[in-house]
Structure 1
Amino acid sequence: MTIAPDTARREPAQYKAMREALESLDDTAPGKFEITREGIVHDMMSPGRPHELTAALISRRMEKVMPDDLLAHTGTPDVEDAPEGVMRHPDVVVVALADMEGEGPFDPRTLLAVIEVVSRSNPDNDWVGKMRDYPLLGIPVYAVFDPRTGTGAVMSDIHRTPGGPRYATRRDFLYGEDVTIAHWTISTDGLPRYEDAGE
């Protein structure tokens, strides 16, 4: 669910106020909050086991084929670009070990790729909102895995459009196929799917 919609570039004071409001809600409200170009997104359901297992398997498979000085990291911190007024929480980020050092959120310009597992409760956040925000943040590769349908896509090649930066290249895949994310190819065999009863 998106709240506080705001498509214009917001003032730094507005973004700071939104950030502080989310920090105050962090331990008291269920789900996950992110700040997007359209406002605050609240995914009211915490990720379930199929979602988390998918992220963990992708992370493990990526790390098996990447150099030792890179990580396919799950968990915190967020990815933030305060001047753009965007704070996102990816499921997996591909980042150099050296860029894990320090405090605070990740600088999106240090990330090699971002991977999202589509949420059953808010799929548009991954397929629409993040498709818009990640090229804006300069993230070169964005991969989406959708356990609802057993499909996914890898986006790359950021280019300028009248509506802002967008990915020019999209490669769709089906679960069971190998998929290349940035420079690394992994199997999608055995990734869990959501059941009708819920995530």
Structure 2
Amino acid sequence: MTSHTYRAMREFLRSMDDALPGKFEITKEGIVHDMTSPTKPHELTALRIRKRLEKVMPEELVAHTGTPDVEDLPEGIMRHPDVMVIAEADMEIQGAFDPRTLIVAVEVVSRSNPDNDWVGKIRDYPLVGIPVYVIFDPRTGSGAVMTDIHPTPDGPRYATRKDFVYGEPVTITDWTISTENLPRYA
């Protein structure tokens, strides 16, 4: 994707602002539109993960669930993780976060577009330098922690994947949190 194409997509999304429902992201393949608003299990999962992480992380770090997006202009990627672990000091900027300032990106799999989390973000997050990517999947009650970015002929990829099921503790970098009582999609 050319820089011009990426900037045109970004401007289009900005012009849409709140005109269309759902969430928009820009990937190496183009615009991803998750048309449905997050469901209560999705939002509750993100909330519980955020709160559990903040109990075990150092005070200078936050598990952030709001805006802005993370954006890598050279790669032409704009994403919005459900939970971003980032130093509070790195949030003191205007505009999108630099993805290389994230310590962890957490995604709660969308019922309507699971490939966005299980395929697209597994490709994009190591490409933009996010060192740890964690997926929680309310469809299956399972997830995975991806780490150890390494080069491949197709670009950077995560070398290590540790799967977990809801009910087991999960270790994310140096912090272990419970996955008990995380909601599932009905």
Task: Bin the TM-score by the shorter chain.
Answer: over 0.9
Q: Does 1:194 align with 2:167?
A: no
Q: Does 1:28 align with 2:19?
A: yes
Q: Per-residue CA shift, 1:134-191, capped at 9, x if unaligned?
A: 0001100000000000000000000011111000000000000000111111000000
Which residue of structure 2 aligns with residue 15 of structure 1?
A: 6
Q: Does 1:43 align with 2:34?
A: yes
TM-score by length of 2: 0.99
**Aligned pair partner of 2:104 in 113, 120, 137:** 113
SS of 2:71 mapped into structure 1: strand
Q: Does 1:68 align with 2:59?
A: yes
SS of 2:74 mapped into structure 1: helix
Percent identity, aligned pairs only, is: 73
Q: Does 1:142 align with 2:129?
A: no
Q: Per-residue CA shift, 1:85-136, capped at 9, x if unaligned?
A: 0000100000001001121011011010100000000000000000000000
Q: How many residues align?
A: 186
**Aligned pair partner of 1:170 in 148, 161, 168:** 161
RMSD over aligned Cα atoms: 0.5
SS of 1:58 mapped into structure 2: helix
Q: Which runs of 5+ in 2 are unaligned?
A: none
Q: Which runs of 5+ in 1 are unaligned?
A: 1-9
Give the 4+ runs in structure 1 shifted more than 3 A.
none
TM-score by length of 1: 0.93
Whole-angstrom distance in 2 between the partners of 1:23 and 1:134: 22
Whole-angstrom distance in 1 between the partners of 2:7 and 2:149: 28
**Aligned pair partner of 2:121 in 125, 130, 134:** 130
SS of 2:134 mapped into structure 1: strand
AA of the residue aligned to 1:17: A
Offset of residue 75 of structure 1 = 1.4
Whole-angstrom distance in 2 between the partners of 1:55 and 1:183: 19
AA of the residue aligned to 1:174: V
Whole-angstrom distance in 2 between the partners of 1:98 and 1:126: 27
AA of the residue aligned to 2:53: M
**Aligned pair partner of 2:147 in 156, 160, 181:** 156
